[in-house]
Homo-oligomer: A and B are copies of this chain.
Amino acid sequence: MALFRNAAGRVAAVDDFCPHRGAPLSLGRVAGDTLVCGYHGLAMGADGHAVSMPCQRVRGFPAIASFPVVEQHGFVWVWPGDPALAADVPVPTFEWLGNPAFGYGGGIYHIACDYRLMIDNLMDLTHETYVHGSSIGQPEIDEAPARTRVEGDHVITERHMEGIQAPPFWKMALRLCGLPDGGLVDRWQICHFTPPSHVMIEVGVALAGHGGYLAPDAVKAACWVVDFITPETDTSIHYFWGMARRFRPNDAEVTAQIRDGQGAVFAEDKQMLERQQQNLLAHPGRKLLMLNIDGGGVQSRKVIERQQAGQVLA
């Protein structure tokens, strides 16, 4: 897929394959409303139809695929399925998206694993204790039971820890909110899966005894962990990660600091997920366990399967 922004700034997405000789259009350059192939100059329109080519009529050229695209709040949303169905599907909305009360920073990783392993990972945060012990993990996480519930296509796994010490990341967040970082806190993690493969996680701490997740803003530090998972192949993904925080939204230094920290934490997941994927490929016949803590991932997979079956039947 080749994405380009025309002279007016509008984004388009077309198949990355010039119909002339198969060169990748992504090596080309933009001219007016077209993406000009970098090999022989065929000018491709946003709709996948050739517009012009030097010394050549292009009327009969076969079109290539183009994809419905919407740009909103700094994200480009591409609809890779049947274009006729795109209009019926609204762009996802999230509390933090385009909301000036939030500061946002994030990045992209390429990870060699099935996208569903990434969903499992994010819908079960007990792994923080083991994979991220030095930053956000703490033993209390896997001592507090998680509850999973399903509301339509929306899967929610939540866990509340009361009267605990904040781990290093949250001590920092408390300080940034002007709150004391030495006392006990209530901590929460509420993971939301929505199709096709977004996982948004409400995370935060409040000074202990004020109601935890429901405590007033003045005594808590809270964020959304943002995870857009775009499958590339059966065993690789583009992973768009970020954090939308409700404190100091315009402080670029805080944005950079959190992004660097989150990038380091999520790199730890990358190693685990890729090695897990290799293990599963090496032993395709082995059944995995589905425990209580896996409920979020299990339910999310069921939603995906239901949607995929629906698309085929529709």
Contacts and interface: CB of A to CB of B under 8 A. Distances in A.
A17 B275 contact: no
B126 A279 contact: no
Interface string A35-61: 011111100000000000111100001
Given A126-B40, A130-B37, A293 B55 contact: yes
Contact of A39 (B53, B56, B127, B291): B127
A36 B126 CA distance: 14
Interface stretch (A19-27, A78-86, A204-212): A19-27
Interface of A is mostly: loop
A271 interface: yes
Interface string A280-314: 10010010110111100000000000000000000
Contacts of A236: none
A129 interface: yes
A112 to B, nearest CB: 14
Interface string A120-132: 1000101101110
A36 B292 contact: no
A232 interface: no
A276 interface: yes
A176 interface: no
Given A22-B283, A38-B130, A129-B41, A293 B56 contact: yes
A53 B127 CA distance: 12
A40 B275 contact: no
- The number of chain A residues touching the other chain, given as a range, is 35 or more
B286 A145 contact: no
Interface string A54-71: 111000010000000000
A272 interface: yes
A54 B142 contact: yes
A294 B41 CA distance: 13
A16 interface: yes
A88 interface: no
A273 B60 CA distance: 25
A251 interface: no
B279 A40 contact: no
A253 interface: no
Given A275-B23, A275-B27, A124 B294 contact: no
Given A27-B275, A54-B126, 4 more contacts: A21-B276, A27-B272, A40-B126, A56-B293
26 contacts: A17-B279, A17-B283, A19-B288, A19-B289, A20-B291, A21-B288, A21-B289, A22-B286, A22-B288, A24-B275, A27-B272, A38-B272, A39-B127, A39-B130, A39-B276, A40-B127, A40-B142, A41-B126, A41-B130, A41-B142, A54-B126, A54-B129, A54-B143, A55-B142, A55-B293, A56-B291
